[in-house]
Chains A and B, each alone.
Chain A
């Protein structure tokens, strides 16, 4: 079974500073996708960034970037120039391909608070 672990239940960061959220996963698959989702108080799940396991280059989306270490099965999210709107719950997710579809596995989340 796939497991996704987020070891930081809560984190805080000063506005304009940089913060890194950690995620590790366990799988025997060789090809898979990893995602970070953001869930603000509005409860909506919003895709932040995604990474293909076979790509060595780390994904970047504006202020968001990942540090993907495939051998270590680590997928951390770095938020640069933190903004108040970044305050949310962040979920790391793993997707594997099945013959009859794709399954997603989510971590337990990290609650991030950006302090003005």
Chain B
């Protein structure tokens, strides 16, 4: 079972470059999330989606855009990368609104901005 797959696993960018991180889930989950993890900061929610075609801002959305054109994919875009966006990015999904349903996480993407 693939679960939640993040692509790529590592990436180095130069300041000002753009890139897109892909999150794919094969569990038919409705909800998907993008987090960033920084040392001493825990996980912080960037954006999330409650269904195909919908997105919403989380705690730290500035500098990022997202799209959910297909239910199974949730894309995170950096239009003009900045060193402050150096982080490990995690994608997660969960079935839906049910309170008892936990998130399923991908393995993370380590992104370095020079």
Report A's interface with B, CB cutoff 8 A. 4, 6, 9, 31, 33, 35, 37, 42-47, 50, 52, 91, 93, 95, 97, 100-109
Please name 12 pairs of A and B residues whose Cβ atoms are closer than 8 Å in the assembled complex, sorted by A. A43-B88, A45-B103, A93-B43, A95-B99, A101-B56, A102-B31, A102-B94, A102-B97, A104-B45, A105-B59, A108-B40, A108-B42
Report B's interface with A, CB cutoff 8 A. 31, 33, 35, 40-45, 48, 50, 54, 56, 58-59, 88, 90, 92, 94, 97, 99-100, 102-103, 105, 107-108
- The answer to whether A43 touches B107, judged by C-beta atoms less than 8 angstroms apart, is yes
- The answer to whether A108 touches B41, judged by C-beta atoms less than 8 angstroms apart, is yes
Which residues from B are CB-within-8-Å of A104? 33, 43, 45, 103
Which residues from B are CB-within-8-Å of A91? 42-43
- The answer to whether A103 touches B50, judged by C-beta atoms less than 8 angstroms apart, is no
- The answer to whether B105 touches A45, judged by C-beta atoms less than 8 angstroms apart, is yes
- Beyond contacts A45-B105, A97-B99, A102-B99: 15 other A-B pairs, Cβ-Cβ < 8 A, are A31-B99, A37-B105, A43-B107, A45-B92, A45-B103, A50-B100, A91-B43, A95-B99, A97-B97, A101-B48, A102-B31, A104-B33, A105-B59, A106-B43, A108-B40
- The answer to whether B97 touches A103, judged by C-beta atoms less than 8 angstroms apart, is no
For B102, the closest partner residue in chain A by CB is A47
